[in-house]
Structure 1
Amino acid sequence: MSTDPDRLFARPLDQVPDFAFNEDVVRVFPDMIKRSVPGYPTIVENLGVLAARFAQPDTALYDLGASLGAVTQALRRHVRSDGCRVIAVDNSAAMVERCRQYLNAQDSMFQELLPVQVMEADILSLQFEPASVVALNFTLQFVAPGQRLELLTRIRQALLPGGALILSEKLHFADDQEQALLNDLHLDFKRANGYSELEIAQKRSAIEHVMKPDTLETHQSRLRAAGFSKVVPWFQCLNFASLIALP
């Protein structure tokens, strides 16, 4: 997967626009997310491993907020249940176009992969098919807080017994000292990956009105309110975590 280096915020901007998944972001996205999200490669690859445990024959596997299809590719590499297909959904036309290109390239390198449907759509208005696995990988944090419970409730209603929702998110912490420590460590992670103070500051300005993280406790209580019976954190690296929610 070729990618340009992320230099979107390297020059001073007179006015920093709100972050959007446009052509510029798509062009550098793999580099951006690898250098910005601690543990991202581990989460993505293991999403495929987890999905293989919960996937059931002749069901849909959803990748909601698929971006460039990294999770979809992991699902296709690991899931072997007969009759499954992946439905990858994103509301960014630029992401969807590039995602299709990457998945076509994957088809040429591997045999017997699950079929995949890539859709440009708003996940808030999506009509879900019966599903055994749903992945929300750093997607819910971009959904308006007042719409999150409704979305999770609809996902829960679509999930079959024995299925799973896998939810990955940046976390906020109620304890001020914990929040400050993990935020500072995250900034150190970005600096260690070559981001300048200017890039860090301008990216923060761009994303602060767009991405609204929750506490782990908020995620757990909301998932239970949506009808999930069990919520299991399976991964955390600094202020990024992933959960398994069971029907």
Structure 2
Amino acid sequence: MSDASYRDAIFTTPLDRVASFSFDEQVVACFPDMVRRSIPGYGQILGMLGVLAERHLRHGGHVYDLGCSLGAVGLALAARLPPEAFTLTGIDLSPAMVERARATLASECPEHRIIIEQGDIRTIDYRPASLIVLNFTLQFLDPADRDALLGRLYSVLEPGGVLILSEKIVAEDEAENAWLVERYHDFKRANGYSDLEISQKRTALENVLRPDSLATHHARLAGLGFERVTTWFQYLNFASMIAFKARPGGHPHDA
């Protein structure tokens, strides 16, 4: 990042009352460190986005990064694709995120046509797109809003386009889910978080981040009309899926 980032220490002090998690200026200041230490495989997912775009993004096509935070998807695509290969619109609800993302992208990839806008991804007007990315964003929406949003995204996705959805997931088997959650806490401990930090952040995210199962995601996307849905990445209880919209005339996607 072009401007300073700080170590995530938001939950290091015992709090009498843990407020609900929000993407405020305090979170923005330490966000790169937070995602690195809190989301298993985050760097690998970002690294593959450029590779997937090389394969599946129509040359010159439009990309949406929904819940764009600090613009990491734009940076990942710009690192592998020339400026003429795509345009990108990033949307985030947090003004603090938007301000810093704009500054970072202007500094790091000024030749690429990337616009960052502040807004609610449930209500904005979308233009046709060749690639849509939801990186750990859907999980923060009210479950009642998820089908409607994905339905809108399917309608604006061009034939042959793809949607990439990365999410924290819940296993349907109770014992499996408990094991994954405990190993996730081990992952966070290994990255320097204390038991107090883990506990307080879990409380802060309660009723804010509500994950679905992989089966629920696959069924929802298939029900909207996607030709194929593949889970291409999973690390503990975090996963990324790619959903393919059928090409004209039913021509299959490239392998």
Normalised TM-score (structure 2): 0.92
Q: Quick one: distance in 2 between partners of 1:223 and 1:89?
A: 21
Q: Quick one: distance in 2 between partners of 1:194 and 1:145?
A: 32
8 Å CA contact 1:133–1:165 kept in 2: the answer is yes
- Count of residue pairs brought into register by the alignment: 243
Q: RMSD across aligned C-alpha pairs, in angstroms?
A: 1.2
Describe the shift of the 1:81–1:24 C-alpha distance in structure 2 as closer, same or farther (beyond 3 A): closer
2:112 corresponds, among 111, 114, 120, to 114
- 1:3 counterpart residue number: 5
1:156-235 matches, within 5 Å, as: 156-235=154-233
CA offsets per residue over residues 178-236 of structure 1, 9 Å max, x none? 00110010000000000001100000000011000000000000011222111011000
- 1:138 counterpart residue number: 136
Asked if residue 57 in structure 1 is aligned to residue 59 in structure 2, the reply is yes
Percent identity reads: 48
1:36 corresponds, among 32, 35, 38, to 38
- 2:152 counterpart residue number: 154
Q: Quick one: distance in 2 between partners of 1:79 and 1:154?
A: 27
**Runs of 5+ unmatched residues, structure 2:** 246-255
**Runs of 5+ unmatched residues, structure 1:** none
SS in 2 for 1:155: helix
CA offsets per residue over residues 141-175 of structure 1, 9 Å max, x none? 00110110111111111111221000000010110
- 2:127 counterpart residue number: 129
Q: Quick one: distance in 2 between partners of 1:101 and 1:233?
A: 33
- 2:93 counterpart residue number: 91
1:45 corresponds, among 44, 47, 54, to 47
Asked if residue 69 in structure 1 is aligned to residue 67 in structure 2, the reply is no
Normalised TM-score (structure 1): 0.95
Structure 1 residue 83, shift from structure 2 partner: 5.7
SS in 2 for 1:241: strand
Q: Quick one: distance in 2 between partners of 1:82 and 1:106?
A: 16
SS in 1 for 2:122: helix
Structure 1 residue 59, shift from structure 2 partner: 2.4
Q: Quick one: distance in 2 between partners of 1:83 and 1:170?
A: 30
8 Å CA contact 2:134–2:165 kept in 1: the answer is yes
SS in 2 for 1:166: strand
Paired residue type of 2:24? N
Paired residue type of 2:7? P
